[in-house]
Structure 1
Amino acid sequence: MTRAVLDTGERHSVAELEDLAYELRRKLLLLCGTYEGAVHIGGDLSVADILTALFHHGLRIDPNDIANPARDRFVLSKGHAAVCMYIAMSMRGFFSYDEIVATYGQLDSAYGMHPCKVQLPGVECSTGSLGHGLPLAVGMALSGRARGELHRVVTLLGDGETGEGSVWEAAMAGRSQKLGNLVAFVDRNRQLMTSFAEERVIFEPYADKWRAFGWNVVEIDGHDMGQLVAAIDALPSPDSDLPTVVICETVKGKGVDFMERNLAWHAGSLGADDLERALAALDASRASNASENDTEAQEAR
């Protein structure tokens, strides 16, 4: 059995994906600087690279044919990162960024603080209650398998929500049903809302827990676009027997120095001065990364 043909659009290089991730972070900050309420900016910034890699490289989707049965399905389990997903989708062509900015968080807006499939076509699953995304993805993957379809069901979890028992029930079910079409990405930023993760729940040895449940485990730097692309490209075939978890080591608030690993920036808003400071920090981080890449390239010669 082969996967159905689906036009997934332009293929990007790693460097181009890095540029898209920078653009996504910049748009996140601009929205955070214009919206009057709090944005879950810390966790949005930690998943920006992952969502860029998925929407511009990994997911077989067509924004002009959102009901195509051959499409991959994406479930944002950490639903409070919705605005990051919205912007990633807008950059992929589902809708415009200006639409998000105009109504984000308002009553009856399609762009709520958590995603709603009823309000926003292209969203596969309404999420928000933590610990529910993987169980929902298991059901969707099992349904696809029963119909003989070869799409993938991909979900993105926060590491904090994997303290929920429902996650591990779903992990056991995914392995028991031999759902090789199921892929979980974990945003392992090691922070909860008001504390660092290991202060409240002992997650380590984290990867070994997934291995004990019979999953194929991949561990990467979730901010290294090359590693993200390689992990996606190496995923087993959807008709294989083992579900895969890609554990992405990340930094909450990544790219903005005063937000990185800062518990105060789980959620917040940016005034004019803070926005200018945040954008400058993002540019400085990008320049630093570019310099490091140039040095590594010269040393490799």
Structure 2
Amino acid sequence: MNTHTNELKRKAAQIRIDLLRMIHHAKTGHTGSSLSNADILTTLYYDVMKLDVTNPKWGDRDRFIASKGHAVESLYCILADKGFFPKEELQTFSQFGSRLIGHPNNKIPGVEMNTGALGHGLSVAVGMGLAGKMDGRSYRVFTLMGDGEQAEGSIWEAAMAASHYKLDNVVGIIDRNKLQISGSTEDVMGLEPLEDKWSSFGWHVVPVNGNDVAELSAALHAAPESSGKPTLLMAYTTKGKGVSFAENVPHWHHHVPSDAELAQAIEQLSKEAQVVIHE
């Protein structure tokens, strides 16, 4: 494993620690989903996307839309760590008057749009991708969707449009952890064969281990592999990843860790990635 991959793994572990502390302090949050997507967002923000922290509205920046907006805690922690806003502000998460509300808020530098009502992010990403093509811009648009979100009809309307307009500057990512708030995705609304469905809509589908930063990096840097086709990363993840007693446990979707659970989780994460914990 190379040094860069190790650094990404350490960064993802630190982001998980930060988001757990933030949720514990706020006494609210979507814990399992944010732990699930931490590797995806870490790879995007520290390895793949073109960004300028000093100029968040830079015209040629890559765009990211958190379509599964409820899993915002990892995104806030990354934006703070990157310097889009002071890290101390994380302690105001979900408090009265805070701009760090429970879903992405575009009053925050680095957040492209408010999200939370599932099924909307891909449509906006398609619009941004089409605008980029029309304006001759080189940016790419990334959007992270939940797998439970795939039951929304607007997802498939956007999928058709992206293929029709040959938007190879659009990269969709599905956090395929196979759990949603009400249980297994296959029990709530069966999705399989999900890869085949996206392929049939004209997308270039790339299955990856969504908790492996090396695989994610390679796939994201390679997109688009197929000219004229949008890319879909089917990122197979573990809900609650990194915290053994939270992994694949449905009630951790929005469980707030107790003092003891927080301490145990931080111990596990710090050992896994050899993170130095700064109290």
TM bracket, shorter-chain basis = over 0.9
- Which has the larger displacement, 180-189 or 26-35? 26-35
| Residue in 1 that maps onto 2:32 | 42
Note if 1:24 corresponds to 2:15.
yes
Check conservation: 2:26, 2:95, Cα contact below 8 A: no
Counterpart of 1:44 in 2: which secondary structure? Answer: helix
Q: Is the contact between residue 220 and residue 249 of structure 1 (CA under 8 Å) also seen in structure 2?
A: yes
1:241 aligns with 2:228: yes
Please, which of 201, 211, 232 is the counterpart of residue 189 of structure 2?
A: 201
Partner of 2:73: 83
> Does the 8 Å CA contact 1:256/1:285 hold for their aligned counterparts?
no
Structure 1, unaligned runs of 5 or more = 1-11, 288-301
Structure with the greater alpha carbon radius of gyration: 1
Contact 2:10 2:273 in 1 (8 A): no
CA contact (8 A) 1:83 1:111 kept: no
One-letter amino acid of the structure 2 residue matched with residue 278 of structure 1:
A
Q: Percent identity?
A: 41
Instruction: Tell me which residue corresponds to 1:5.
Output: none
1:237: Cα distance to partner?
7.5
User: Take 2:109 and 2:12, find their aligned partners in 1: how far apart are those partners?
Assistant: 23
Partners of 2:140 and 2:169 within 8 A in 1: yes
Q: Which amino acid is 1:121 matched to?
A: P
Instruction: Count matched residues.
Output: 272
Q: Residue in 2 aligned with 1:148?
A: 136
2:201 aligned with 1:213 = yes
- Show the 5 A alignment for 1:212-291: 212-236=200-224, 240-283=227-270, 285-286=272-273
> Which residues in structure 2 correspond to 1:108-127 (within 5 Å)?
108-117=97-106, 119-127=107-115
Q: Does 1:167 align with 2:155?
A: yes
Q: Is the 8 A contact 1:73 1:151 kept in 2?
A: yes
1:23 aligned partner, one-letter code? Q
| Residue identity in the other structure for 1:276 | A
Residue 72 (1) aligns with residue 59 (2): no
Name the aligned partner's letter for residue 191 of structure 2. F
Q: Within 1, Cα distance between the matches of 2:173 and 2:47?
A: 14
Higher relative contact order (CA 8 A, sep 6+): 2
Consecutive unaligned residues in structure 2, runs of 5 or more: 275-279
Please tell me whether the aligned partners of residues 123 and 155 of structure 2 are also in contact (alpha carbons under 8 angstroms): yes
Alpha-carbon distance in structure 2 between the residues aligned to 1:157 and 1:75:
9
Q: Note the alpha carbon deviations across 1:44-77, whole angstroms, 9 max, x for none.
A: 0000000000000111111111111110111000
Q: Which amino acid aligns with 2:224?
A: P
Deviations 1:158-213 (A, max 9, x none): 11101111001100000001111111111000001020111111111111111000
2:87 corresponds to 1:97: yes
1:181–1:237 Cα contact (<8 Å) kept: no
Say whether residues 1:58 and 2:48 are aligned partners: yes
Q: Aligned-pair distance for 1:148?
A: 1.3
Q: CA RMSD in A?
A: 1.5
Q: For 2:236 and 2:110, locate their aligned partners in 1 and report how far apart those are by CA, in whole Å.
A: 28
Give yes or no for the alignment of 1:33 onto 2:21: no
Give the alignment's TM-score, normalised by structure 2. Answer: 0.93
CA distance in 1, matches of 2:237, 2:21: 22
| TM-score normalised by length of structure 1 | 0.87
